Amino acid sequence: MLKRVHFPSSPLPYLLVAPQLAITLIFFIWPASQAFYQSFLIEDAFGLGSEFVWFENFEVLWSDSHYLAAFWRTAVFSLLVAGLSMGFALVLAGFAQRAVRGALTYRTLLIWPYAVAPVLAGALWVFMFNPTLGIFPYFLEFFGIDWNHYLNGGQAMALVVMAAAWKQVAYNFLFYLAAMQSIPPSVIEAAAIDGAGPGRRFWTIIFPLISPTTFFLLVINMVYAFFETFGIIHAVTQGGPGTSTTILVYKVFNDGFVGLDLGGSAAQSVILMVLVVTMTVIQFRYVERKVEY
Amino acid sequence: MIENRPFTRFLTHFVLICGVIAVALPIWITFVAATHDELRMNQAPLPLLPGSYLWQNLKQTLFGEGLSGTEQAPVWLMLLNSLAMAMLISTGKIAISLLSAFAIVYFKFPFRMTCFWMIFITLMLPVEVRILPTFEVVANLGMLNSYWGLSIPLIASATATFMFRQVFLTVPDEMLESARIDGAGPMRFFFDILLPLSRTNIAALFVILFIFGWNQYLWPLLITTDTSMTTIVMSIKQMLEAAEQSPQWNIIMTTALLAMIPPVFVVISMQKLFVQGLTETDK
Amino acid sequence: MAEIHLTDLTKSYGPTEVLHHIEGHIQDGEFIVIVGPSGCGKSTLLRMVAGLETVSSGEIRIGERRVNELEPSERDIAMVFQNYALYPHMSVRANMAYGLKIRKLSQAEINRRVEEAADILEIRQYLDRKPRQLSGGQRQRVAMGRAIVRDPQVFLFDEPLSNLDAKLRVQMRLEIRKLQQRLGVTSIYVTHDQVEAMTLGDRLMVLNGGYVEQFGTPIELYDRPASIFVAGFIGSPAMNFLPAEVKDGSVVLSNGVIIPVESPKEANVTLGIRPEHLQPEPEGAIALQVEMVEQLGANTLLHGTLQGTDKALTASVAGHATYENGEFVNFSAPASMLHLFDPETESRLEL
Chain B residue nearest residue C82, CA to CA: B174
Q: Is residue A239 over pLDDT 60?
A: yes
Across A3-28, average pLDDT: 83
> Which chains sit next to C, with 3 or more Cβ pairs under 8 A?
B
d(CA A227, CA A272): 9
Strand partners, C57: C10
pLDDT band at A40 (very low <50, low <70, confident <90, very high): confident
Q: Is residue B1 over pLDDT 60?
A: no
User: Given this model, what pLDDT does residue B71 score?
Assistant: 63
Question: What average pLDDT does chain B have?
Answer: 83
Chain A contact set for B107 (CB, 8 A): 6-7, 9-10, 12-13, 16
User: Given this model, what pLDDT does residue C91 score?
Assistant: 93
| Contact assessment for residue A269 and residue B130, using Cβ atoms and an 8 Å cutoff | yes
User: Given this model, what pLDDT does residue B283 score?
Assistant: 40
Across B239-266, average pLDDT: 83
> C158 φ, ψ to 5°?
-105, 95
Domain ranges (residues) in chain C: 4-233, 240-349
Q: Is residue B175 over pLDDT 70?
A: yes
B185/chain C closest Cα distance in angstroms: 9
Q: Is residue B229 over pLDDT 50?
A: yes
Q: Is residue A194 over pLDDT 70?
A: yes
User: Given this model, what pLDDT does residue A33 score?
Assistant: 84
Q: Do A133 and B253 touch (CB under 8 A)?
A: no
B98/chain C closest Cα distance in angstroms: 19
What are the DSSP calls for A166-183, one per residue? HHHHHHHHHHHHHHHHTS
Question: What average pLDDT does chain C have?
Answer: 90
Q: Is residue A293 over pLDDT 70?
A: no
Across A99-118, average pLDDT: 82
Higher-confidence position of C73 and B69: C73
pLDDT band at C189 (very low <50, low <70, confident <90, very high): very high
User: Given this model, what pLDDT does residue B7 score?
Assistant: 79
> Which chains sit next to B, with 3 or more Cβ pairs under 8 A?
A, C
Name the least confident of A36-45, B83-92, B200-209: A36-45
If DSSP codes are grouped into helix, strand and coil, which group holds residue C5? strand
pLDDT band at C44 (very low <50, low <70, confident <90, very high): very high
Across A211-234, average pLDDT: 86
Q: What superfamily would CATH give domain C4-233?
A: P-loop containing nucleotide triphosphate hydrolases (3.40.50.300)
- Asked if the C-beta of A256 comes within 8 angstroms of chain B's C-beta atoms, the answer is yes
Across B250-259, average pLDDT: 86
Q: What structural domains and CATH numbers belong to chain A?
A: 60-292 (1.10.3720.10)
User: Given this model, what pLDDT does residue C309 score?
Assistant: 87
| Contact assessment for residue C81 and residue C156, using Cβ atoms and an 8 Å cutoff | no
pLDDT digits (tens, 9 = 90+) for B133-166: 888 888 888 888 888 888 888 887 788 888 888 8
Q: Do B129 and A9 touch (CB under 8 A)?
A: no
Mutate to test the interface with B, among A30, A86, A119 (most CBs of B within 10 A): A119
User: Given this model, what pLDDT does residue A154 score?
Assistant: 87
- Asked if the C-beta of C14 comes within 8 angstroms of chain B's C-beta atoms, the answer is no
Higher-confidence position of A162 and A191: A162
Q: Is residue A288 over pLDDT 60?
A: no
d(CA A129, CA A147): 8
User: Given this model, what pLDDT does residue C33 score?
Assistant: 95
- Percent with pLDDT over 90 in chain A: 12
Q: In what order do the strands lie in the sheet with C328-332?
A: C279-280, C328-332, C286-295, C299-306, C312-318
User: Given this model, what pLDDT does residue C20 score?
Assistant: 92
Q: How far is residue A92 CA from its own chain's centroid?
A: 20
> B157 φ, ψ to 5°?
-140, 115
Mutate to test the interface with B, among C46, C54, C89 (most CBs of B within 10 A): C89
- Asked if the C-beta of B187 comes within 8 angstroms of chain C's C-beta atoms, the answer is no
pLDDT digits (tens, 9 = 90+) for B21-38: 888 888 888 888 888 887
pLDDT band at B281 (very low <50, low <70, confident <90, very high): low
- Percent with pLDDT over 70 in chain C: 99
Q: Is residue A115 over pLDDT 60?
A: yes
pLDDT band at B67 (very low <50, low <70, confident <90, very high): low
User: Given this model, what pLDDT does residue C187 score?
Assistant: 95
Across A64-74, average pLDDT: 87
Mutate to test the interface with C, among B108, B175, B181 (most CBs of C within 10 A): B181
pLDDT band at A1 (very low <50, low <70, confident <90, very high): very low
Chain A contact set for B153 (CB, 8 A): 23, 27
Q: Among B174, B107, B184, which residue's Cα sits nearest to residue C71?
A: B184
Q: Which residues 105-134 of A are in CB contact (within 8 Å) with B? A: 106-121, 123-128, 132-134
Domain ranges (residues) in chain B: 34-281
| Contact assessment for residue B230 and residue B81, using Cβ atoms and an 8 Å cutoff | yes
Q: Do B193 and C87 touch (CB under 8 A)?
A: yes
Across A249-255, average pLDDT: 84
- Asked if the C-beta of A247 comes within 8 angstroms of chain B's C-beta atoms, the answer is no
User: Given this model, what pLDDT does residue A228 score?
Assistant: 84
Candidate CATH numbers 2.40.50.100, 2.60.120.10, 1.10.490.10, 1.10.3720.10; the one for domain B34-281: 1.10.3720.10
pLDDT band at A2 (very low <50, low <70, confident <90, very high): low
Q: What is the pTM of this model?
A: 0.81
Q: Which residues 44-83 of C are in CB contact (within 8 Å) with B? A: 47, 50-52, 71-74, 77-79, 81-83
pLDDT band at C266 (very low <50, low <70, confident <90, very high): confident
Chain C residue nearest residue B179, CA to CA: C99
Chain A residue nearest residue B109, CA to CA: A9
Across C334-349, average pLDDT: 88
User: Given this model, what pLDDT does residue A4 score?
Assistant: 63
- Percent with pLDDT over 70 in chain A: 91
User: Given this model, what pLDDT does residue B74 score?
Assistant: 80
Q: Is residue A290 over pLDDT 60?
A: no
Is A242 buried (19+), middle (13-18) or exposed (0-12) by CB count in 10 A?
A: exposed
Is A54 buried (19+), middle (13-18) or exposed (0-12) by CB count in 10 A?
A: exposed
d(CA C92, CA C115): 11
Name the least confident of A50-54, A121-125, A176-180, C278-282: A50-54
Name the least confident of B170-179, B180-189, C156-165, C263-272: C263-272
pLDDT band at C117 (very low <50, low <70, confident <90, very high): very high
Q: Residues 6 or more apart from A35 whose CB is under 8 A from it?
A: A266, A269, A270, A273, B129, B130, B132, B133
pLDDT band at C217 (very low <50, low <70, confident <90, very high): very high
pLDDT band at A245 (very low <50, low <70, confident <90, very high): confident
Q: Do B124 and A216 touch (CB under 8 A)?
A: no
Q: Do B121 and A171 touch (CB under 8 A)?
A: no
Strand partners, C306: C288
- Asked if the C-beta of B59 comes within 8 angstroms of chain C's C-beta atoms, the answer is no
pLDDT band at A48 (very low <50, low <70, confident <90, very high): low
- Asked if the C-beta of A36 comes within 8 angstroms of chain B's C-beta atoms, the answer is no
- Percent with pLDDT over 90 in chain C: 56
